[in-house]
Structure 1
Amino acid sequence: MRGSVILAAAVAVIWAVVLLVTQGLVRPALGTVPTVLVGCALSVAVVLGYPSALRGPRARRAARAARREDQPDRGVRDLAAAGRSLPLRAGLTPDAARRTAELLRPMLSGDAVSITDQVDIMAFVGPGADHHRVGHEMQTRAAGRAVARGRTVVVKDPAGLGCRVEGCTLQSAVIAPLTVGDRVIGTLGVFQADTPIPSKALVEDMATMLSLHLELAELDRERRLAAHARLDALRAQINPHFLFNVLNTIASKARTSPEEARELLLRLSEFFRYATKQDGHFAEFAQEYYFVRTYLTLEQARFGERLQVRYDIDPQVLTSRVPVLTIQPLVENAVKHGIGHSTAGGTVRLRARVDPLARTTSIRVSDDGVGMDPEVLALLMRGEVDVGEHDDAVLTGPEHAGVGLRNIRERLDALFGDRYELSVTSPPGGGTAVDLRVPMR
């Protein structure tokens, strides 16, 4: 009704202005037909523009408000569907639980919101926080029932809530379990002191979203642990024969070339310092490159002229980050199995490039040594054999691919998923090449 009055008033004002201008201000005055045409044109323009200019925004706001009244949980459902920033993505910690409870309290229209693990309160925001204390045991029997049954518990009176503290102001609640897989690891509780409790479906939907975030956090933690385990295994498997041979080389040179022996000792200490003290899973290629050169310097001192080394490194690669302790084992494979078993010796080549468009770092380690049997290579690439376990086997055996290639592949799986490429080729003419492509970091 109010909108119709406004429209009628606007049309009346338009006609008054048209008559004033065309009959009073214009000399000579316009005729009846032009005056009517001008008035009609302006009136039509106002009527057509009225829904968007005058009534439209309010109508849209009213419609949105009506839809919100009809579907009070729609906004929360939308947020739950896109809730990538919920703090519990980092895991069920007191700080993440507190920030999540503070975020959910206005969204769930709860007087109080709690997040617990299986036993203790991780966060509690709202009335009752004086005795529902973080780090203490859950105060309500209803929360314990939700954990034990693995189902949502709805209580509508203080007796059903079962708070252990007399005089608790909380009157009702909806408590939904938080799960990871088939395990109940905690609860999400929405408590009310005066206002009606939210719908059970709404709390369950949010608990499902939180459970998804907790499950992703668990997967991330397991992946990090797996990557750490693989890295520790790589550190532990530094070939004792390599150390023994280098120490023998240093001992022999100590009599004939003391300065060279001293330099080799320094290089050996640098080698082990880097291998055992490197933190994290990634390092700049420049650091890994220096580590590889240190290793090859020690091996060249042992093999002499039998081992030649060629480097082809794009300077742009030096600042890119690559998985730590990944290149050196590949180079060691080439030296130990490609060149070490060749009476004539050979050359090990290290090539590295970056592709800015594909945002990848490509590394190739190759040798012109004895090569690998095609059948063994096929088994190796399918992961049906491991490497480095039978160093005294025939040269065409699976160990030729080197120490811990499966270990390297599994660590790359943990770090990159399917976003990397690792291939081994051995042409009929001899030699072996390992190609690694990883995303730039």
Structure 2
Amino acid sequence: MRSGSVLLAAVVAGTWGLVYLATQVLVDPPLATGITLVVGVVLTSVLTIGYPSALRGPRAGRALRQPGWTAISLGTTRTITAAGRSMPLRSGLTADAARRTAELLRPLLGGHAVAITDREQVLAFVGPGADHHLVGGQPATGTTARVIRRARTTVVRRRSEIGCPVPGCPLQTAVVTPLAIGDRLVGTLKVYRTDADPPSRELVEDMAGILSLHLELAELDLERKLAVDAKLDALRAQINPHFLFNVLNTITSKARDDPDEARQLLVRLSDFFRYTVRQDGHFAEFAQEYFFVRTYLSLEQARFGDRLRVRYDIDPQVLTTHVPVLIIQPLVENAVKHGLAEKVEGGTVNLRARVDPLTRTTLIQVTDDGVGIPADVLAQLTTGAAGADGGVGLRNISQRLETLFGERYALNVQSTVGAGTAVELRIPLR
């Protein structure tokens, strides 16, 4: 039991003794028992509330200190938390991101100088010593090499332990801790001071943990972007050769009978491929994708003639939303190739788009009244394989959507042989 608690118990017991003497022994006649109890309870409550006992903890405004601890204010903790949310290293372990991070951390970690390295070179150094701890060079201190080799934090309490070979280096103490992505060490965070009081190890290690988390997220973002890029490139490669071959055949036949129409088709074909090649990023306004789809269908109508009819039902609100690049056109292409190409009398392709404000989604529907897709061909499309006539794999599209949106999308395909096919795509509103 703590001494404070013992003292409080003794004071309460003595108070009750005094109350008993004052109300039952020293007065004649004795006061009623109820009065004695009321007085005793009131005095006990006053003592308990006014005494900083072990149950209440320290009074407000007193800092809880133990030997070797560094007092950190609540405001500083909140500042560090806020800084962690906007850390520049979220973009990756680059020299520019490291410099901005070091400048941000220097006043927060109680250091006179802050440095960030990867496994081979100094990426950033801010503060005293920057004249010889040069960015782009190898770390000048032996401490960094030890931390990278052992993968654990080192606290330096004397200048001689830092291992800087430059005479007159102002750095006296330091905490050097590793930065890691998973189990892979990728660099170090170094906080130096020019006096004999080293920075707080716990604080530096906690910040290194935050930086490591941001580096891991940056790597995941890069992997995700590369995966989306690869799927988009594969989709472009699937579309271009087959479509180009068919359209060029159409243009060749038109050139003999109608040179003007052939020239118009060449212009449209140029617009089509310019869009597929030059479109930057993974998202575009629906209006751009809509124009791209209309260009594609106009080229196909030149090939199929009256056998291909198209109906558009587009909500004007959809035009300014953003959708993934090259998502709608493959759906329309599959409707033409697998739905109408083999139907003698042809058919109609319907493109419908809506914004659902309640679910905050964009709904895109592509339907046709063609021959339908046999189960085996539909299985090929949904598993990523191209059909016999070069159809675009829906599995590729689905993987892109999953990479971009996670589980926040829906792609449904229904097809009946002899009746047609319906594809419904629902994606988050952007």
Q: TM-score range by the shorter chain?
A: 0.7 to 0.9
Deviation of residue 376 (structure 1)? 6.5
- Cα gap change, 1:273/1:73 in structure 2, threshold over 3 Å: closer, same or farther? same
Matches within 5 A, 1:344-355: 344-355=345-356
Conservation of the 8 A alpha-carbon contact between 1:371 and 1:430 = yes
Matches within 5 A, 1:26-65: 63-64=60-61
- Are residues 1:413 and 2:402 paired? yes
- Cα gap change, 1:134/1:239 in structure 2, threshold over 3 Å: closer, same or farther? closer
CA distance in 2, matches of 1:285, 1:306: 27
Conservation of the 8 A alpha-carbon contact between 2:172 and 2:196 = no
CA distance in 1, matches of 2:65, 2:412: 56
In structure 2, the partner of 1:387 is 385
What is the SS of the residue equivalent to 1:364?
Answer: strand
Conservation of the 8 A alpha-carbon contact between 1:80 and 1:205 = no
TM-score (norm 2): 0.80
- Cα gap change, 1:64/1:292 in structure 2, threshold over 3 Å: closer, same or farther? farther
CA distance in 2, matches of 1:266, 1:375: 37
Matches within 5 A, 1:114-153: 114-153=115-154
Deviation of residue 65 (structure 1)? 5.7
In structure 1, the partner of 2:231 is 230
Conservation of the 8 A alpha-carbon contact between 1:178 and 1:184 = yes
Residues 102-152 of structure 1: CA distance to partner in whole angstroms, max 9, x if unpaired?
221222111211111111111112221111122221111111111122111
CA distance in 1, matches of 2:73, 2:417: 65
Conservation of the 8 A alpha-carbon contact between 1:81 and 1:209 = no
What is the SS of the residue equivalent to 1:98?
Answer: helix
CA distance in 1, matches of 2:103, 2:364: 48
Conservation of the 8 A alpha-carbon contact between 1:68 and 1:74 = no
What is the SS of the residue equivalent to 2:239?
Answer: coil
Residues 239-271 of structure 1: CA distance to partner in whole angstroms, max 9, x if unpaired?
423222211211212222222222111111111
- Cα gap change, 1:256/1:103 in structure 2, threshold over 3 Å: closer, same or farther? same
CA distance in 2, matches of 1:338, 1:411: 24
In structure 1, the partner of 2:185 is 184
In structure 1, the partner of 2:294 is 293
Conservation of the 8 A alpha-carbon contact between 2:370 and 2:421 = yes
CA distance in 2, matches of 1:102, 1:68: 29
CA distance in 2, matches of 1:256, 1:296: 21
In structure 1, the partner of 2:19 is none
Conservation of the 8 A alpha-carbon contact between 1:121 and 1:137 = yes
- Cα gap change, 1:67/1:108 in structure 2, threshold over 3 Å: closer, same or farther? same
CA distance in 2, matches of 1:421, 1:73: 49
In structure 1, the partner of 2:166 is 165
Amino acid at match of 1:63: A
What is the SS of the residue equivalent to 1:361?
Answer: strand
- Cα gap change, 1:247/1:320 in structure 2, threshold over 3 Å: closer, same or farther? same
Conservation of the 8 A alpha-carbon contact between 1:420 and 1:436 = yes
In structure 2, the partner of 1:92 is 93
In structure 2, the partner of 1:72 is 71
What is the SS of the residue equivalent to 1:89?
Answer: helix
CA distance in 2, matches of 1:253, 1:99: 61
CA distance in 1, matches of 2:198, 2:158: 11
CA distance in 1, matches of 2:421, 2:175: 64
Conservation of the 8 A alpha-carbon contact between 1:77 and 1:205 = no
Conservation of the 8 A alpha-carbon contact between 2:373 and 2:415 = yes
Residues 196-219 of structure 1: CA distance to partner in whole angstroms, max 9, x if unpaired?
113322221111110000110111
Deviates more, 1:114-123 or 1:197-206: 197-206
CA distance in 2, matches of 1:286, 1:65: 63
Unpaired segments ≥5 residues, structure 1: 1-61, 393-398
- Are residues 1:436 and 2:425 paired? yes
Matches within 5 A, 1:233-252: 233-252=234-253
Deviation of residue 431 (structure 1)? 1.3
CA distance in 2, matches of 1:96, 1:169: 25
In structure 2, the partner of 1:262 is 263
CA distance in 2, matches of 1:86, 1:295: 44
CA distance in 1, matches of 2:259, 2:375: 45
Amino acid at match of 1:417: G
CA distance in 2, matches of 1:275, 1:68: 65
What is the SS of the residue equivalent to 2:107?
Answer: helix
Deviates more, 1:145-154 or 1:306-315: 145-154
Deviation of residue 343 (structure 1)? 2.6
CA distance in 1, matches of 2:407, 2:340: 32
TM-score (norm 1): 0.78
Residues 256-303 of structure 1: CA distance to partner in whole angstroms, max 9, x if unpaired?
222222211111111111111111111111111111111111111111
CA distance in 2, matches of 1:64, 1:92: 40
Amino acid at match of 2:372: G
- Cα gap change, 1:252/1:68 in structure 2, threshold over 3 Å: closer, same or farther? farther
Deviation of residue 177 (structure 1)? 0.5
CA distance in 2, matches of 1:267, 1:153: 66
Deviation of residue 74 (structure 1)? 6.7
CA distance in 1, matches of 2:80, 2:65: 16
Conservation of the 8 A alpha-carbon contact between 1:365 and 1:433 = yes
Deviation of residue 332 (structure 1)? 0.6
- Cα gap change, 1:188/1:335 in structure 2, threshold over 3 Å: closer, same or farther? same
Residues 361-410 of structure 1: CA distance to partner in whole angstroms, max 9, x if unpaired?
11111111222345765x569x6x3231x416xxxxxx8xx413222122
What is the SS of the residue equivalent to 1:358?
Answer: coil
CA distance in 1, matches of 2:81, 2:380: 43
Unpaired segments ≥5 residues, structure 2: 1-58
Conservation of the 8 A alpha-carbon contact between 2:370 and 2:418 = no
